[in-house]
Amino acid sequence: MGCGCLPSPPVLDCLFQTIRQTQPQGNAIQTLTAPLLLRSFRCTTLVVPRILSLVPPDLTPRGQGAAAVPRGDRRHVPAFPLGLPPVGRAAPSTAAGSGAMRRAAARGSQLWELLALLCWAAAAPAPPSAAPLLCNVSLDSPAEERWLPVLRHFDPAFLRAAVARVIDERVPKWVHEVIRPIAAELEFLMPQPFAGEMLGLCRALGISLGDGVLLNFAYESTAFCTSIVAQDDKGNIYHGRNLDYDFVDILSKITIDVQFIKNRQIAYQGTTFLGYVGLWTGQSPHKFTISGDERAGGRWWENAIAAFLNRNYPVSWLVRDTLSRAEDFQSAVLRLAGIPIIAEVYYIVGGVSPKEGMVITRNRRGPADLWPLDPLGGAWFRVETNYDHWTTPPPFDDRSNTVYTTVMSAALPDKYQTWIRTDT
């Protein structure tokens, strides 16, 4: 887990990389990092050295910015161009520009003061990372057969052992006693395509459908995360997330990027764990992006099982269903805010047009709060972890068990990238 109010370093690094790749000649003032670093001591050793490496492009003539980085170069850490005046360079003079110039100069001064304050920190290397396996799942195939080509890339014995360990250590014993006796009926309680896909996976792995449902519940109950949605000065929307779980040693080995194919086109894509039919992270190309962060609601298992038996959606299934059905940012927000789910959650949504960014705080029956981007009012980014944004996060949350980091922009769907932590 990490600072309860701030994105942990990997998600910032990856956001910088994606934005530099899409806007290689922007100026390099890291205005995103100033408010974040001021409140996050964890960024000292991981983010500051990267920010320092980003300053030189601003000290070179316009047009000599870094070239676009090839997609496969996972180590380059780019700048975050927001169109503000470069450090040490005056903004263009306009009749109404003096206030903007003073604000920009203040931001630049604060950034340099911040860097000077933090430069004493040791330059710790970024955690080792690797790209996950990229898989295609055909929505044109029968639901029970869709995941079989993906399973061929993994050792069935390892997967069965992973399922057994996660269920044994995460699922309360009384839940086993509730779910397993009604396993035969579970197929009829779950909506399609999830029921068919889960049944096909369980048959292929030689486990019961009851264990398949318990596995999916275990992942639903423990998703500690950090998400950020931001808009630059050109109105481009960027979305990044860290996903933090227990069992990093297992999950890092079964994290996959999935392209869901329909009529030979990518209908939507996301990042998940093999055996888990929902999505906590995904994008619908040229429409919107979604990430989900757990929200603690008390008595999670009791309420979730009751809601599931009442045919409410698991929270990650609603993410995937929305990616499949919604036509744009607004319709995605309406679905994510209004459809009953089995547990409380935060949905973070990004679109393709200016101002299309939202944090939805969910109760099981509907929205508790909607927190949109407000770039004209200075709120050009929103950060959500696992706490209501109007409260103070607890000091004990040090968020360090990141499984993967994803960055995405629905307007630039080919820039979707995931990094798996490999230092476990």
Closest CA to 291 of 242, 337, 246, 258: 242
CA atoms within 13 A on the CB side of 288: 28
Q: How many helices (H) and strands (E) does the chain have?
A: 15, 14
How far apart CA 328 and CA 287 sit, in angstroms, is 5
Of 3, 5, 135, 225, the catalytic one is 225
- In the numeric block, the tokens 């929902």 are attached to 278
Structure tokens given for 194: 């999830």
Please report the sign of the dihedral spanned by the C-alpha atoms of residue 274, residue 278, residue 283, residue 289.
Answer: negative
How far apart CA 341 and CA 362 sit, in angstroms, is 9
CA distances from 120 to 48, 116, 124 (A): 10, 8, 12
Report the SS3 class of residue 299: coil
Residue 290's DSSP bridge partners are 282, 349
Q: Are 326 and 285 in contact (CB under 8 A)?
A: no
Task: Check if 225 is active-site.
Answer: yes
Closest CA to 406 of 323, 292, 330, 318: 292
Q: Are 23 and 412 in contact (CB under 8 A)?
A: no
Residue 265's DSSP bridge partners are 262
Q: Are 234 and 352 in contact (CB under 8 A)?
A: no
Q: Return the active site residues.
A: 225
